[in-house]
Structure 1
């Protein structure tokens, strides 16, 4: 037994957990010694760095543009929708800041020390949770603005003050949900280098790992998905009763938002559920080849989930006429576009991004 413990190395998977414990750890490390996962790490080294850098560059450009617009046109921050959008862009930017670290780790291992490992892991989780929770707040705000129109228009100031309190609560809750990263994340060496992982030892072991995964799945997907589904289904039903030529455009935007969220987040959260189910089984029934295929699938689906951070600006901001015109105005101010590119001023058709509170709530 002692010799086995001496051989213990970091048990790595594609989600950043080390589940070595006195009960399950011996088997896990024996399993890793018998199952060479070099091909999985080689795949990760080829797959993650270019994808993460692409997400960082595209998402950084889109979200920086959103922040740029709001800083330049401060009068836009007059609705809950705009406050949520600005916070969402900041959350996505902070999330994107962590991706180059994970890209470097995939290529060369973790070389930034345990302190930065803990900070980067926590920052990643804080902004993962805050981004999803802000999307949930946006759907709830749309529900109030469209389904309860009279109430929404009579309480604009109260709702604006409320939005700032809600954003503060979202950041606080996201920080609390990221507490396991502050506690358990550390850099650990193994046979092929040093990696930044969640490490659970002795008395906490698999139970804590299961709890962490359950929190991520429930608060990072299930609860937001249920709230978004309810809000948007009622919104669509309300729009179908109205005679407005813009309603079909609005419903396409809503459909795109829901489909992108589900397609990008559901598969990876399904893998996390399977990971939690495996953690409940100390004997780990997966065979070597099955485990390697599972790890590769998890890496691919994790990359798919991360693309949501670079799609948010295009789903929530750039679909609107008013936001696109503000971008063009700024480009003209900084002489990036000729004067004629802005278009002629005049009466514009209403859009899902127009100035009314109701239509703003449709697509931000």
Structure 2
């Protein structure tokens, strides 16, 4: 029978990274605890969920990128630039989900270098997407709350958005560096981070703390501040689109909080577990790991929901999709891109004539929130 010191020593050197195995079951040796049912649940539950997220999210994000680059070719605002980069970040994560689904079904059968790259792509998406969502929140805050300043600096702000995106990707790559260094295929056949013994528990806790703080807490604070001020501003604005804008904001904040808060709470508990093994009873261990697997899948749905929450709910992009479907239906053999742009230009002229009657604050607000 293993002693508690043996269990603690084993726990401190192994840090899971794969979406299908956030904490390997070998951290809790099978000396008195049969974790076979937990493994069976993972093998049955996670692969179909991962494939569903990959297929739906891939289709949505590919359509987003295609419309931005090939049809509208419009990156007129900072939010447009951020949304395009957000879709690319989600696609980078979604292409790794089939690999994690294969691992959840049995074990990691691919090479260690691929393990490093795949794990790094997962963290790269995690940090880049949440930082981009934070940038979108701040941009909407500037456009709506500081409308005059935003109107007078549109060109500079567009240039600045590209620089901000470069900084976001570089920061996300820096935060994903631990995966590139420590990820490998373990002896148990799992893709995970394996720390040298001299690094121990402090490195594991640091990695988890960094993920929770930079991947959830700090962005949530910024988003809560920006959207609370935006809501207060909209409540003072006489706009017929005010209530629609409030619904979009509420959907954005709730989707982010509900998908990320439960899983990040589990990560905090996992950091505490790494520190002093707060959970030792076999039934509690199995329950903890089962709940974590479910909340993990909920958190990963953000890559599937983003196109709908941040793009398809938007008025402009929804109009783009409708016009694209109309053009494809009417002209099956025609140049769809050219026909679409012609149709879009007509719609823009019509919408512009109807918006002339509204005051500047209302039009700026509706444009910022309609995407």
Is 1:137 the counterpart of 2:135 in the alignment?
Answer: yes
Kept in 2, the 8 Å contact 1:264–1:304? The answer is: yes
Query: Against the structure 1 CA distance between its residues 273 and 320, is the aligned structure 2 distance closer, same or farther, given a 3 Å change threshold?
Result: same
Pairs aligned (count): 345
Q: CA RMSD in A?
A: 2.9
Q: CA deviation at 1:18?
A: 6.0
Match of 1:246 in 2: 241
Distance in 2, Cα, partners of 1:135 & 1:336:
36
How far apart in 2 are the matches of 1:337 and 1:198?
53
Q: Which of 154, 164, 171 is matched with 1:166 structurally?
A: 164
For the residues of structure 1 that align with 2:15 and 2:33, how far apart are their CA atoms?
A: 12
**Number of the residue aligned with 2:218:** 223
Match of 2:295 among 277, 301, 313: 301
Partner of 1:261: 256
Residues in 2 aligned to 1:195 and 1:285: alpha-carbon distance in whole angstroms: 22
What stretches of structure 1 move > 2 A for 4+ residues in a row?
8-20, 31-34, 283-286, 328-339, 342-351, 355-361
Judge conservation of contact 2:15–2:204 (CA < 8 Å) in 1. Answer: no
CA distance in 2, matches of 1:263, 1:232: 16
Change (3 A) 1:33 1:131: same
Q: 2:96 is paired with a residue of what secondary structure?
A: helix
TM-score w.r.t. length of structure 2: 0.86
Contact 2:138 2:226 in 1 (8 A): yes
Deviations 1:163-188 (A, max 9, x none): 00000000000000001101111111
Of residues 141, 154, 160, the one that matches 1:156 is: 154
Q: Work out which of the residue numbers 220, 224, 235 in structure 1 matches 2:230.
A: 235
Please state how far the C-alpha of 1:73 moved relative to its aligned partner. Answer: 3.4
Q: Distance in 1 between matches of 2:287 and 2:368?
A: 42
Unaligned runs of 5+ in 2: 335-342
- How do 1:94-105 and structure 2 match up within 5 A? 94-105=92-103
Which of 143, 146, 159 aligns to 2:144? It is 146
Does residue 292 (structure 1) correspond to residue 299 (structure 2)? The answer is no
**Distance in 1, Cα, partners of 2:266 & 2:116:** 24
Where do 5+ consecutive residues of structure 1 fail to align? 21-27
Structure 1 position 334, deviation (Å): 3.7
TM-score by length of 1: 0.87
The within-5 A match list for 1:199-214 is 199-214=194-209
Aligned partners of 2:15, 2:30: CA distance in 1, in Å?
9
Retained in 1: the 8 A contact 2:259–2:299?
A: yes
